[in-house]
Structure 1
Amino acid sequence: MASAHIEHKLALLPDEPGCYQMKDLNGKIIYVGKAKNLKNRVRSYFKSSHDGKTAQLVANIADFDYIVTSSDKEAFLLEITLIQKWQPYYNIKLKKGTGYPYIKITNERDPKIMISGDVRKDGAYYFGPYPNVYAAEETMHFLQKVYPLRRCNGYQGRPCLYYHMGQCLGPCWHEVPKAEYDAQIAKIKSFLDGNTGKVRAELTKQMKTAAADLEFERAAELRDQLHYIEVTVEKQKIISTDRTQRDIFNFYMDKGWISIQVFFIRQARLMKRESRLFPIVNSAEEEFESFIMQFYDRKNNVRPKEVLVPKGVNNAVLAEVLDLPVRTPQRGEKRDLMALAKKNARIKLEEKFRLLELDNRTTIGAQNEIMDALGLPHGHVIEAFDHSHIQGTDPVSAMVQFVDGQAEKTNYRKYKLAQAEGDHSANEDANTREVIRRRYTRLLKEHAALPDLILMDGGAIEMNAAKDVLVNELNLDIPVAGMVKNNKHKTAALLFGDQDDPIDLDPKSQGFYLLERIQDEVHRFAITFHRQLRNKNSLSSRLETISGVGPRTRAKLMREFKTIPHIREASVADIQALGISKTVAQAIKVSLAAEP
């Protein structure tokens, strides 16, 4: 049920198009959406029942905001802008700069051909996308041999090696007429558009001539070039009767997931396919539209001559925003290609569900095995703690979080602890009390979700200390178990409750493997943090002994060089560049050089 604050804001929503932003308790934007009618759309989140990712979103909404726009087009554009700016957790997001390689002919007086993963509005010609870098590079190398442009760095008064090899038109030693470049570029365009017949005929003629002149190496090279056309350029089946460059988008939705397929049709062939899978919050059509908008917002996607989409999408607005024809085919081969894209989307999603089922056995299923062994209800979140120190000095603690059996690394935490006095067991007790107190006091203040189980690496001392703080200081009822290792320092069992005997798990079960992963991960995280801190403290303490090196100078050196060897390797000028006087810089170099 929505809070009173949200109920009041819902009553004030306008019947206008626009964008809305859902926020969590910390005011962070977790979802951005567009609507033709803000009042109806935003109210639907709080007045209807939901499941899957939508239910998770609604459970985390503490507030919302909205921006009214004057048209659906403005709402489309604003939504993409806000998604790119805030990167909300529950939105479909496409990273900028990710895509496929293209062949580029540069826009210069002496153009050259090259591979580019970044498409810019620079007047150059772009061809592709290619299935992978290897395919693009092989095609480029072939073109450099058959239709050379410039391969050198420009005029140098003498012909370059590539000119002698017939792979450069020679701007290195004379001015190449623009008409000659234009003729070559026209041939390259024709070839990349799939017109390979003339090239094959010319190469075949040259090969026969070379063989007749007993130039067998040249004949073999031409034979290899012909073979390349057969196995690479002409390998893909022609699937269209026209050569219009088009991108085909279709989707399939089931169980709160959307599977999207993109077919790149170039040279009447299917050049590349992109598959994406997302759990979604809104209707499939709206999430699909958002995907297409972001897809062309990426700077390295060359826009085709035509975009094909399924029925139910807002073609008119998409076409207006993208400045491209956006059509829904009704018959013929285009409709068949749309059906093929949908079929592939369905197959990919069904495959995803099968993999999810298998993953759940080793993640959620494994976590449930641990809960069952402890007699606890099935939960989602496990947090584990471990300490690290050397004879009580520089004590640290680390926490790792596993959600449904998988590491949630964004929620890992590191703690520097107070120096405790006494024997080892006293230190472990004090360290545990401090880290548990700090971790869960903070979660209580933030009204954040608490874990379903806490695991302490170390056994009974840590387990009992954690329970005491939780129950008697924080008034929390979170189950705590101790992870026990055997004499080979390997995961063995769990301590839980008031029982003295460890609870054994089947060492071949998924639950045991998960427990082992958790214990290894928290230990690794704690040790890594302790080493980082120890190295930093060691560096700081060694610098303290040098005359003239105060706290600010130490901070500069530590920030810039990180280690003593790096400072030793630095010159006096490098140290001075940090704003340190020449006298002190020389003292630092002399002092550290004298150390073993």
Structure 2
Amino acid sequence: MAISLKEQVNQLPSKPGCYLFYNEKNQILYVGKAKNLKNRVSSYFNKVYNYKTTKLVQEITRLETIITVTEKEALILEHNLIKQHKPKYNILLNDDKHYPYIIITKEKDPQYLYLRKIPKKYSYAFGPFPDGSHAREIMKVLERLYPLRRCQGHLGKPCLYYHIKQCSGACFQDVPAQYYLDMIKRVRHFFSGKNDDTKDLLTIKMHQAAQNLQFEEANKLKLLIRRLDWSISDQNVEFLAKKDNLDVIGIYYQDDYLVITILFYRQGKLSYKDSEFLVCQKDQFQETVRLYLQELYQKIALPPKIFINEMIEPTELELLYGSHFFYPKTKKEKIMMNLANNNSQETYQQIIKRQALEQQTPEVLSKLQNLLQLPEIPYLIEMIDIANIQDEYVTGAVITYKNGKPSRNDYRKYHIDIPQQDDSARIANVMARRYQKLLATNGALPNLIIIDGGLQQVNACRKELKALQLAIPVIGLVKNKQHRTDHLLDLNQKAVYLPKDDKLFLFLTKMQDDVHRFAITNFRKRQSRGLISSILEQVPGLGPQKIKKLQANFPTIKDIIAASPEQLNEIIKNKSTVNVLQNTLQTIK
């Protein structure tokens, strides 16, 4: 007969060791270590904890223990068990926190790689980058400005990337070793802070994009320039040796909220920053910090020195990692620690403010109701935008907000293929398709429709609603020449300018950015599929049906390139055509 969980806890020994909590599916929920197993495990069931720990306790159906001779052995065993099983309640870092690196490979014709783990053989590794998309953007800049090999090499002819000046030319020629040395030298200068040349090149490209009305590209480059830490040169600790690599762990703790900030110093410069917001009670503080750092240094390379806030007890960390952890002692070290602690406090304040703003959503909706004199609070708002370039792959987007928050399951995209080439006709097309379906399916209609556009687009929307016999209020959000939210057109088609720091203005701006991002993302997917089709149409033996099947099974060019001949032949049913296809794709690898 199986004993109860309470009886299992009562029978635990008062010895050091590890404990493993299981759920009803026999999955390990949590691994912990204790100096006294009986006391530590009992505490889970006779104390009031935060939401996460309370939820953990509710899921526990059984437990196991492993007795050790010393607490040090228990610590090392716990570390290994967590690495092996990755229990969900031991995970403190967000799922998308992988801290990637940019690698330059060690080979005759080196290339850039974006990797989450540093390989054993490489020439240079730059990172870690706390924000994965930021790392990808940086690598794109390097590929454009300091090209290495980007194709598989030795193709016998120039690849596509060579034609757009993003490949060294290893595809068709022997590239001098000195070329790679020069490029890598510039990349190393870039990451060591000697990046004026790179900044100048990016600035020129940004101005060119703006002059060509490519505002999104210009804004992307502007953000990248800002992110690359030229703006924080006053915070860089210039007195570090140029080859110093170290991390600084700052802490801010208040009201059971813990913020941990890591400052990554690479090549003597403050390179990157990341912060994590956690909830833990005072008696869990040391364990929470230790487990967080254990998880962090499973994901990134351990630097020679790690300076830690004096609230952190280093004994157990030193047992796991050796003498890497230090308290700041010199004036220089204390400056770095103050910077990390101040960043933690700032992150805490921002999160608390954001939580307060979320609680103010009803207030924003009430203000919108009063401003427009609506009969009811606009609980359900829909916003419409159109994306296209040169009238190709025209895509309509509708986003839905419920009670002031995005309802992403209700977002819809529309492929628009009509002879009229103006936004008014396109908006009318989206309106008809969207609201005819809602009427036919008895779906919920919005309390307010917002059009990303001016008077012409708003009138097109109202005309279509009238044809559908729908009385839904419609307003417009108008952008300025810099493509940013400027003012709204109210129900009387009058311009209303709100202060830029007004909560309602910020809410409407967020919606406008959201619908634009949704529209442009789906437009780019269509554009990419169109590019694939144009490439596949050049292959003799591939007709419309086979192209359609290929795209259904391999959504991107990379997927088709990565497919084996056998996989391709399952669809194409002709080995000669498969060979022609693969030869065609060689030029764009």
TM-score of the pair, normalised by structure 1: 0.47
TM-score of the pair, normalised by structure 2: 0.47
Max radius of gyration: which structure? 1
